[in-house]
Structure formats: structure tokens, C-alpha cells
Amino acid sequence: MTKRYGIDLGTTYSTISWYDESRQEVKPLPLESEDGETTSLRSVVYYPESGEPVMGEVAWNTRKQVPERVIVGIKRKMGEDYQTEEIDGRRRSPQEVSADVLRALKDNAEIEMGEEVTDVVITVPAYFGERQCAATMEAAKMAGLNVLSILSEPHAAAVAFSIEQNSNLTDKHVLVYDLGGGTFDVTLIQPVIPAAFADNNNEVQDLKLNTLAKDGNRELGGLDWDEILIDLAAEKCIDQFDVDPRLDPRNAAVLHDNCEKAKRALSKKPAEMIVADLQGHMIEVTRDEFEERSSGLLLQTQMRLEQVLSEAEEKHGITRDQIDVLLCGGATRMPRVKAMIQEVMGSEPLEYRNPQLLVACGAAYVSHAIDPQASIPLPGPGREATEEGEEKTVRIAEDSITDITCHAVGIQVIRADENGERKPFNAVVLERGVVFGEKRDFVTETLFDNQAEVCIRLFEGDDQDVEECKHLMDFRIEGLPAGRPRGRPIRTTLWFGLNGVIQGTAVDLETNTEIEIHYDRWGMNTPAPAAKPATPQQPAAETPAPMPMPGSQPSSMPEASEPEAEPVIEVEFDETPVLDVTPMEDAPAEGPFDPAQPYGEANAHDLPESEVLSLDDSTPAPVEAEPQDAPQAAFDAETDEQPSSEEPVSNDTEPVAETTPSEPAPAASQDDGSDQDSESNDPPEMPKPLKLY
């Protein structure tokens, strides 16, 4: 069986590990560093003037000489429209920088294992959203890795702890308190092993992880404690030596390095001396000073912990005495963290021998057991033979781990506010807490005759105001049948795949045909598989000639003299209340709202050069097409599987395939022999369809 690997892609440190079947244990692979071999690689990248990027401890120490060439903590920017500062005239996306870190892990592992490393399971924080998971998949693709699964870090921690401790947690729930270098999560998980082996004669047990509640902050972690200590040390340096080491980039790098070491030292002793700058100024910081100054950060984690505990009791009837807290992440080694949890829970938390490696070990177990034929013998007492002489082993099936969304996802609709003014609103489709794989349907209609493309804007957040939500992507439905009047219904189905990435299908209800869809993230247009007949579950049209929908005409092209009804947006949800979507009867002269553009901003997205379709008799105004930016690499969110090996690994500067909207048929001329220079009463040629829904 081909070896598979688990990767903990961290904000400050990253680790790659694998499960050794012969020794029945997980082995983090050794990585090169300035001090020899280590099991964790600093997630820091140095871009020299010439040569390949340098990662790890060397890159970290290079900050003291050329800090402007070193990138630190890029994981916090994953999924955002962010570019690094220019280095040699080039900016880099978080995916590119993360790909360099992953490539270093891959290269080190190939040297150690003597074979190609391709298939991996990568962990992400539980509070990562759709864009962050998609960006992680894209970074892995750039690094030449095939991602078998994106695994939540708390799930990885729970897998490793339950297997290695051989714990039967039937009567307890596990709450993973994960405080890493750059992110924080708190996740409540149902019992890990469902039944004691003594109660059955099966040689293999399914390991189950069901997520009940979670909260977190993807911009809170050990780096923030570092900043607190840096400011405290700098203030002491100013008081004692009248020098602020933060003002010089090289001194700031020295201070950061020494404060990170001092933070670890303060977990073991009451005070520590810190070298503040290159000049050798030394100051002393005590643990009490540090804990007092950083108490606000710890309080933020406590509040989220209390929130999950309250949700567990209100929604699931689970009390605190039914929960064990498992510490995960290097920052949990700070004594005050353990003391706070003991105060909140009334009991000591569970501790792993190395909380920093817990996630990487869990990823390795899952990467091995993801094969349906694979299983993992339990260590320690779990290896004792049963009465039948069989080992106690566990397996991780495809449905063993269930996760829930941490953010709601909605679509943009237009309706009137309390003042009667038409505005965009966010209508939630996938609510917060929905289980991965659980599907939601809604129906939209075409707005124009001969419309060939529909665009649905997706937002992250449950606020009705789209300005308070984060734009995720444009979900484009392309290749609609030509020559049809407006008002034709399209059923769209959305769900979160097991990798935390949104997937979807679209079916033209009139022809019962699945329509081609594209995902447009960060300005990228990612094609999905070609259209195909819908599955039998989709209802077929009952009559050959469907009844006209509201706002449509029974004929394929309206007569030139026949006035058109105003377009209607209609959105329906199965087994849920119909959205309050106001028909666009009072549309302004410049045309209906285009969901492919932010409300009130003209030409925010690149559209084909065309005319804007007017809703009245005024002359359509031309729209100038803006120049296209260089397309970026995209992750195909249609399936959890990676693209085939025939596709080249792309990066942000390589072109990707784009799909042009179908051209509508021009209106027929009423007089073929008319003078071309004379004024004509013929209807104008239909413009290219706007990206509407």
C-alpha cells in the first residue's frame, strides 16, 4: 500500500508524520534545522535575491539581517484577498507562501523515506471557513501534493489521544481546547469509541467523532502572547536604557526571537532575562507581569469556551461534569491556561505528552486508516487478545468523522427595505452548524429572454446586510438552453463537502438537465464538469410545453411591439419558509441589479463588453470593459478529489481555463432590404446576458 502522510500546516510550526505499520506507531519525520534535526519546521519563508526560497529556522534567523525578505505567520491570511509586500518586484499570495512551506515538508520527507511523497491529509483550524479550506487545497496543489482529506485540528487531536491512550470515552464528551501559534479553537465532540470491546466479539471497532458545537478565532494564538511580551520588554528597555528596540527592524527581529524563547522559559520559572536588541541591552520580565499583561487574551479564550459549554447544555443537555477538556497546541503549555480551565471546569484537563505534535499524529492516523482495508491496533492494554485471540483494533470509515459549519452561508437577493428602497440582502441558505454533506435546495428564475448564464453571489455570515458579511465567491451557472423566454426555473443545490469546501449542482427544471457550473474565487473562474442528465430524484417536466413562469412569455422570443413584463426574482427553499424577495418592479433606468457587481459600484467585476439591458424604453447605455487581471490558479470545489494528473500544477501567475457566456441569438430583422444608413424601428440586437439570477 502506498504510504500516506499527515501534515499539520501551522501558523508558527509545521509537521509531517506517517503511520508505521510494522511498529504500529506514528512517526513525525525529522526535518533539518540549524541545531540539527527536529520534528517541527518553522512556517517561515525567506526569499533571497537569488536562488530558491529558504524555510524553517534558517529563515527565522535571517530576519535579524533582512527582515523585509522574510514572511512570518502567513496562515492567518489564508483565504483573504491579500498579497505580501513586494520582494524583488513580486507580491505573493498566502497560497504561494504556504505552498513553499508544504514543498519543504514534502522534500524533507522524500529524503527521509526514499520515495515520492504525494498523498496527504492536511489539518486546518476548526474555525477555518470555506475560503480558508479552499486556499489550503490550492496551496497543496501548488506544492505537488494530492490532498486525500482536509481534517479539522480538534478532530485530529481527538483521534490521536483516543487511540494512544486507549480511552473508552462512552460516558464522556471531549472538548478540545486548541491554542496554537496563530489560531484558537474550542470544539465539543461526542464519545470517541462508541462501545467497549468487552461487550462484543468484533475484532474491529469504528472510531466515531461527531461534532456538536465549536467556536474560535483564527487570529488569536501564541503570536499574540509574543506581542504582549515584546511590548512589555520594550517598555522596560525604554525605562532603563531610553531605547526602543521596536523602531529598528533588525532590533525588532532580535527582540521577537528572544521574547519567544522567554515565553517558553516563563512557563517553567518565575522570571527570565531578555536580550532586547543587538546592542545587548538586557531586561528582566517576571511570569506575574507577563500573565497580568496577557490576561485579556486568555479571557477571550475563556469566553469562547464558556459559549460552547452553554451551547452544549442548551442544545444537547450536556453538563460540564460530562465533558473532558483535552489541551492541544503549544501555547497550552503556559501555566495560566491550565489553571483557567481547571477553574471553569472544576477538574484538571487531559494532557498529551507533547500537545504540539498531537494534531500531526492524528493526521497520520487518519491518513493511514482512510483506506477502507486499513485498521489500527490499539496500543498498550488495547493489544491484549480477546477471548477469541483477536487484537483490538479501530478503523476510521468515510463517515466516522462528522463536522459542522462554523459560519452561515447565504445568497444575495434584492428586496425593499423598511423605506421601500431596493437593496441587496443576504438570505441564509446553509445555516451555521449545518453538518458537512447536508444539502440545501433553492429555485431561481432567469430574468431575460434568451439568458444563457446565471450568477449567484455567496456570502459568509448570517447578517441580512451583505456589507456585514464576507463575499465568498460567485457561483456561475452557464450554458442554459438558448432561445427561451425569461422566467425559466433553475434548482440549485449547495452543501459543504467533507473538505469544508462548498460544492453544488444546478438543474434546469424545464429540461431536467444538469447545467454546467463554475466557481469564481478571488477573480478566478474554475470550470466544473460538463452538463449531464440529472439524477432520477429530480422531477422531470410533466408536460412537453411547460407552463409560463411569473415574468416570462410563452414564446421563445417576444414580438418587438409587445412590451415585456418586469423581471421577477423568485427564490424558494424546500421545507423552509419562502424568502421575502420583492419583485424588481421599480428597477431604475440603468437596468436591474447585477449580482456580479457590488451594489452601488459600477464595473467592480470584469464583464463582457456589451450594452446594459434597460427595463424601460430608454436607449441602453454602453458599458466599458475593464482590462482583465492575470487569472489565478483555482481549486476545483466541485468534488473533494484533486484534478487529474494531466492538469499542470498552476500558480497565481499561470492562466486557467475560462468559460465565455453563451451568445444569445440576435433579433430577426423585419426588412432585409432596408437602407443600412437609415433609422430602423427594428428591435436592437440582444446584448450578451448579464450575470443575473
Pairing mode of beta strands 453-460, 209-217: unpaired
What is the rounded distance in angstroms from the CA atom of residue 295 to the CA atom of residue 272? Answer: 19
Element (H, E) at 470: strand 470-478
pLDDT score of 654: 37
What is the rounded distance in angstroms from the CA atom of residue 488 to the CA atom of residue 493? Answer: 17
What's the mean pLDDT in 634-662?
40
pLDDT score of 256: 94
Element (H, E) at 227: helix 222-241
Phi, psi of 491 (to 5 degrees): -95, 125
* pLDDT: which is higher, 622 or 89: 89
pLDDT score of 589: 31
Domain ranges (residues) in the chain: 5-220+297-402, 409-623
pLDDT score of 32: 67
* pLDDT: which is higher, 130 or 205: 130
| 311-317: long-range contacts, CB 8 A cutoff, minimum separation 24 | 311/188, 311/213, 312/173, 312/188, 312/212, 312/213, 315/212, 315/213, 316/212, 316/213
pLDDT score of 215: 93
185, β-bridge pairs: 178, 216
What does the pLDDT look like over 110-160, one tens digit per residue?
999 999 999 999 999 998 988 999 999 999 999 999 999 999 999 999 888
- The helix-helix angle for 295-316 and 222-241 (nearest 10°) equals 160
Question: pLDDT over 90 for what percent of the chain?
Answer: 44
Cell of 69: 525578505
What is the rounded distance in angstroms from the CA atom of residue 98 to the CA atom of residue 54? Answer: 12
pLDDT score of 192: 57
Say if residue 426's pLDDT is above 80.
Answer: yes
Which amino acid, one-letter code, is at 107?
D
CATH class for the domain made up of 5-220+297-402: alpha beta
For the sheet with 323-328, list strands across it.
323-328, 173-179, 184-189, 209-217, 401-402
pLDDT score of 172: 76
Name 205's Cβ contacts closer than 8 Å, sequence gap at least 6: 193, 194, 195, 197, 392, 393, 394, 395
Three-class secondary structure of residue 104 per DSSP = helix
Q: Can you spell out the DSSP letters for 486-539?
A: S--EEEEEEEE-TTS-EEEEEEETTTTEEPEEEEEETTEEEE-PPP-BPPTTSP
Asked if 155 and 523 count as a contact pair (C-beta separation under 8 A), the reply is no
pLDDT score of 91: 94
350, β-bridge pairs: 326
pLDDT band at 388 (very low <50, low <70, confident <90, very high): very low
What does the pLDDT look like over 461-474, one tens digit per residue?
989 888 899 888 88
Greatest mean pLDDT range, 61-75, 228-242, 478-492: 228-242
What's the mean pLDDT in 347-362?
88
Cell of 661: 457566456
What's the mean pLDDT in 188-212?
68
pLDDT score of 309: 95
pLDDT score of 343: 95
Question: pLDDT over 70 for what percent of the chain?
Answer: 70
pLDDT score of 610: 31
Q: Can you spell out the DSSP letters for 429-445?
A: EE-TTPBTT--EEEEEE
pLDDT score of 644: 42
| Whole-number average pLDDT of the chain | 75
Pairing mode of beta strands 513-514, 502-508: antiparallel
pLDDT score of 166: 64
pLDDT score of 35: 55
What is the rounded distance in angstroms from the CA atom of residue 664 to the CA atom of residue 612? Answer: 14
